Structure 1
Amino acid sequence: MASSLPLLALRAFVEVGRLGSIKAAASALNVTSGAVSQQIRLLEDRVGVTLFTRERQGLRLAEAGASVYPSLLLAFEQIEKAAQTLGEIKVRQTLTVSTVATFAASWLVPRLGRFTQRYPNIEVRIEATSTTVDMHRGRVDVALRHGLGIYPGLNIMRLMAPVLIPVACPGLVTESAELKEPRDCLNYPLLHDSDRADWPLWLAAHNVAKDQRAERGTAFEDDFLLIRAAEAGQGLALVPLEYAQTEIAAGRLVQVLNKPWPARFAYYVVTKQDAMQRPEVKAFVDWVMEEAQNTLP
């Protein structure tokens, strides 16, 4: 029998029981007093018992009504809470951002709290990978990529160009060491990125003659590993300033020469052509461009 009881009548019963008045319950439910009275009569007829006793001050729960009122009140509170959750889900938006692990750890993630404070209804999922993602078929909404900016068929915005600086652990280069000019770096083991191009280009940019030593040394696929190797005293590393700031501030690395040099590659914001029409994508792109602008010296 319980499964056949009308939901509207049960709701009317709960409101009358809570407020003790047909009129007050009708106001809470945004219906007429006659409609509430009709639902109460319908429910009493269906269950075959009296649920309320009529008094001068209003209605009071009868024994049968009082026995089920707490459970029904809790049930409708849970329904209301669930409905509210559904409403929040409707306005909550999820954004998937892909970038390389080093950039995520050193630059993006430390700043991400400012985005969530500004846009609490946008949930950001960070995917840290060096693998090229298919923006056309995959689930990635925004990619922050390090390269030459050649991404056919996609919307591209230049985010920032890293400045490379030579760093080492404090114990590798002492005050008495002969490291005063860029050419002096060739007297130390050099740590490279995966294509071994940065050191030769950096040295050439500072008028150092071509030298085979510039291409020798251990190479690392990820800048994070490159920085860890430098911290361990394995050689000099040429890394983006943004990546090494924390280690320099903590004294784990030192900048061995004040010879910054722009990297060949820049960071780009990459999206599908029509992605900026989505409010959550536009909000993130505008924010990350703003953060990059504030990063510039």
Structure 2
Amino acid sequence: MGAVLPLLALRAFTETARLGSLKAAAHRLGVTPGAISQQIRQLEDRLGATLLLRSRQGVQLTEAGARLHPGLLRGFGQIENALAELEAMTAEQTLTVSTVPSFASSWLVPRLADFSARHPGIEVRVEATAQLVDLHQERVDIALRHGLGHYPGLESIALLAPVLLPVASPALLGKGPAIQSPADCLHYPLLQDSDRADWALWLQAHGVEPDSRVRRGPSFDEDLLLLRAAAMGQGIALVQDNHAQEELQSGRLVVVLDLPWPARFAYYAVARPHALQRAPVSAFIDWLRHQANLASPVLPTV
């Protein structure tokens, strides 16, 4: 046999002999039975010896095949074990975090450089999705969820309790009537959340009985879209303070009235109970708590 080993053919022969079937070996390796048969035939031609005998009952090892198979089986087993050990070592220092796009963009991602500086050996992978991940089924270590904190079978750690603020572009406010009370917001187009509920709740919390205007206007299912529409001067948006910080600090938006109101949901770090025993998971949650406890910047108002 030449210096270059026919690894595909050797693996095809090893799996066929181990499983006793071309079809089973093909399924194991993700190829067709014809491809397995061709690889074995090429290996037999190269070695100048018949390795397998095919029958209706499956395949049987010849004398040459019986001498070759145990060594190959041990060899491929050692390769698989070495790869599994490497994958386990890599996975131990890799952290997959899932959260919604708005929170990832406005809060988590801008702070990740700090975590990487503190823990250079931990690799963080962020999955930004609006879909609710199943921590019992998917390869996600921590989910940053926006809700009430009740997640059966999971551990949840409270992080942030955001408040809602009315924000708008300075250009829009400069062309319209002055806003001195919550009721004055009704003189402007209102940009709605997906449920069209936040404006009515905010106005009622500040002593204003909503009228038909309170549910009018385009609705958006993400704060990122609400912020973009508000920055373009399309109306006043009621958004979470932690989502609006960048736009407010840049001056693209201003707080219309400094009357924050608690959002219905808070942010929680959620994980499987046994996952909290992993050093990267516990380090990331400790870091999240530290970041959540940092003082919020002063936000500009009209």
TM range (shorter): 0.5 to 0.7
Q: Is 1:154 matched with 2:154?
A: yes
Q: Secondary structure at the match of 2:108?
A: helix
Cα separation, partners in 2 of 1:106 and 1:91, compared to 1, 3 Å: closer
Aligned counterparts, 1:41-190, within 5 A: 93-174=93-174, 177-190=177-190
Count of aligned pairs: 214
2:252 aligned with 1:277, yes or no? Answer: no
Stretches (4+) displaced over 2 A:
89-92
Cα deviation per residue 1:185-225 (whole Å; 9 max; x = unaligned)?
A: 11111001111111111111101013221111110011101
Deviations 1:132-167 (A, max 9, x none): 000101001000011122211110111111111111
| Structure 1 position 91, deviation (Å) | 9.2
What is the distance in 2 between the residues matched to 1:295 and 1:289? Answer: 12
Any idea what the Cα deviations from partners look like across 1:9-63, whole Å, max 9, x if unmatched?
xxxxxxxxxxxxxxxxxxxxxxxxxxxxxxxxxxxxxxxxxxxxxxxxxxxxxxx
Is the partner of 2:180 in helix, strand or coil?
coil
In structure 2, distance between residues paired with 1:267 and 1:295:
16
Q: 1:93 to 1:130 in 2, by over 3 A?
A: same
Taking structure 1 as the reference length, the TM-score comes to 0.68
SS of residue paired to 1:242: helix
Query: Are 1:96 and 1:142, in contact at CA under 8 Å, matched by a contact in 2?
Result: yes
Secondary structure of the residue aligned to 1:180 is: coil
Match for 2:129: what amino acid? T
Q: How far apart in 2 are the matches of 1:296 and 1:172?
A: 26
Match for residue 209 of structure 1?
209
The answer to whether the 8 A contact 1:144-1:269 is kept is yes
CA distance in 2, matches of 1:260, 1:91: 42
Output the CA distance in 2 between the equivalents of 1:126 and 1:286: 17
Contact kept, 8 Å, 2:92 with 2:280, in 1: the verdict is: no
Hey, what's the Cα distance between the residues in 2 that align with 1:141 and 1:154? 11
> Given the superposition, is the C-alpha separation of residues 223 and 158 from structure 1 closer, same or farther in structure 2, using an over 3 Å criterion?
same
Q: Quote how far apart the aligned CAs of 1:295 are.
A: 3.9
| Corresponding residue for residue 243 of structure 2 | 243
Q: Distance in 2 between matches of 1:90 and 1:137?
A: 20
Q: Distance in 2 between matches of 1:175 and 1:256?
A: 14
Q: Name the CA distance, whole Å, in 1 between partners of 2:149 and 2:105.
A: 22
TM-fit CA distance, 1:293:
0.8
Within 1, Cα distance between the matches of 2:295 and 2:131? 26
- Quote the Cα distance in structure 1 between the aligned partners of 2:191 and 2:237: 5
Two-structure CA RMSD over aligned residues (Å): 2.2
Residue 92 of structure 1 contacts residue 123 of structure 1 at CA under 8 Å; is this kept in 2? no
Report the equivalent of 2:222.
222
How far the C-alpha of 1:92 sits from its partner, in A, is: 6.4
Query: CA–CA distance in 2 between the matches of 1:152 and 1:263?
Result: 23
Structure 2 contact 154–270 (Cα < 8 Å) conserved: yes
C-alpha displacement at 1:128, in angstroms? 0.3
Q: Kindly state the Cα deviation for residue 96 of structure 1 after the two structures are TM-superposed.
A: 0.2
2:268 paired residue number: 268
Aligned to 1:293: 293
Q: Does structure 2 retain, via aligned residues, the 8 Å contact 1:98–1:142?
A: yes
Residues in 1 aligned to 2:142 and 2:182: alpha-carbon distance in whole angstroms: 38
Letter in 2 for 1:194: S
Whether contact under 8 Å (1:92, 1:121) holds in the other structure is: no
Alignment gaps of 5+ in structure 2: 4-85, 298-302
Q: Distance in 2 between matches of 1:105 and 1:90?
A: 26
The answer as to whether partners of 1:91 and 1:121 remain within 8 angstroms in 2 is: no
How far does residue 253 in structure 1 lie from its aligned partner after superposition?
0.8
CA distance in 1 between partners of 2:279 and 2:176 (Å): 57
State the distance in 2 between where 1:232 and 1:195 align: 22
The SS at the match of 2:273 is: coil
- Which letter maps to 2:273? Q
Larger Rg: 1
